[in-house]
């Protein structure tokens, strides 16, 4: 009777290693896919015949309109998508410097109105730019108050930042000029 071959044992060990290496390779190579998205919260439903709240003041209201050609009207003047973020930041941190911008960020409201013919891509770009503006303002305020970026703050600190610059978005009923 022959002794069991030592080489055969080594071969088994090698194949275990190979299988293990393959497993690790697949685990690393296959990124777990999670969807990314822009979050929003819709306003509660108000039946049409009910009295909807109306805005009476204009100074604290910043209006953005998008038409069916995906052009945007920023606070009354034609603008590019790239202008939205800096203008939002200026509008929020105005503190009474310009009469047509917000007197106090706690009262500032951004209003979006689109057309029924607006492309979703254009709408989401505008939405994204508004959020980018707010995020930039929040981050700057967090740095100034707590010396940290928003991501490193505790919950009460985040709440205090968001109380100073509340994200007040108003979406008007869409226009229906271009179909």
Partner 1 sequence: MPFKKKQKDTPAITTASLPDIVFMLLCFFMVVTKMRDAEVFVKTNVPNATELQKLEDKTLLNYIYIGSPTKQYQEKMGSAPRIQLDDAFATPEDIPVWVEKRKINNISPDKHGKMIAAMRIDKDAKMGIITKVKTELRKVNLRKVSYLAGKRN
Regarding 138 and contact with partner 1 (CB under 8 A), the answer is no
Element housing 63 (H / E): strand 61-66
Measure the CA–CA gap between 134 and 168, rounded to whole angstroms. Answer: 10
Number of residues that bind partner 1 (CB under 8 A): 45
Regarding 145 and contact with partner 1 (CB under 8 A), the answer is no
Length reported for the chain: 179
CB of 96 to partner 1, least distance (A): 28
From candidates 116, 143, 145, 152, binder to partner 1 by CB under 8 A? 116
CB 100 within 8 A of CB 108: no
Regarding 67 and contact with partner 1 (CB under 8 A), the answer is no
Regarding 22 and contact with partner 1 (CB under 8 A), the answer is yes
Regarding 12 and contact with partner 1 (CB under 8 A), the answer is yes
CB atoms near residue 48 (< 10 Å): 7
CB atoms near residue 102 (< 10 Å): 23
From candidates 6, 7, 28, 39, binder to partner 1 by CB under 8 A? 39
From candidates 44, 53, 99, 147, binder to partner 1 by CB under 8 A? 44
Regarding 38 and contact with partner 1 (CB under 8 A), the answer is yes
DSSP 175: B
Regarding 120 and contact with partner 1 (CB under 8 A), the answer is yes
Is the Cβ of residue 3 or residue 56 nearer to partner 1 in the bound state?
3
Q: Rg of the chain's alpha carbons, rounded to an integer? A: 27
Element housing 161 (H / E): helix 155-164
Q: Per the structure block, which two tokens stand in for 168?
A: 């007040």
CB of 3 to partner 1, least distance (A): 11
CB 42 within 8 A of CB 88: no
| Site residues, partner 1 (CB under 8 A) | 1-2, 5, 8, 11-12, 15-16, 18-19, 22-23, 26, 30, 34-45, 114-121, 123-125, 127-128, 131-132, 135, 174, 176, 179
């Amino acid at each position: 009777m022959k002794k069991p071959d030592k080489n055969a044992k080594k071969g088994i060990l090698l194949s275990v290693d190979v299988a293990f290496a393959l497993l690790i390779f697949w685990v690393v190579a296959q990124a777990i896919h999670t969807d990314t998205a822009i979050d929003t919260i819709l306003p509660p439903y108000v039946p049409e015949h009910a009295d909807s709240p109306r805005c009476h003041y204009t100074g604290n209201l910043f209006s953005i309109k998008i038409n069916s050609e995906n052009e945007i009207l920023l606070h009354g003047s034609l603008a590019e998508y790239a202008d939205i973020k800096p203008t939002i930041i200026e509008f929020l941190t105005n503190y009474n410097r310009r009469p047509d911008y917000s007197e106090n960020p706690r009262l500032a409201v951004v209003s979006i109105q689109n057309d029924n013919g607006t492309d979703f891509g254009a709408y989401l770009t505008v939405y994204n730019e508004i959020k980018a503006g707010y995020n930039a303002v929040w981050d700057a305020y967090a740095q100034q108050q707590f010396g940290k970026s928003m991501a490193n703050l505790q919950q009460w600190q985040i709440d205090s930042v968001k109380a100073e610059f509340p994200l007040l978005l108003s979406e008007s009923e869409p226009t229906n000029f271009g179909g």
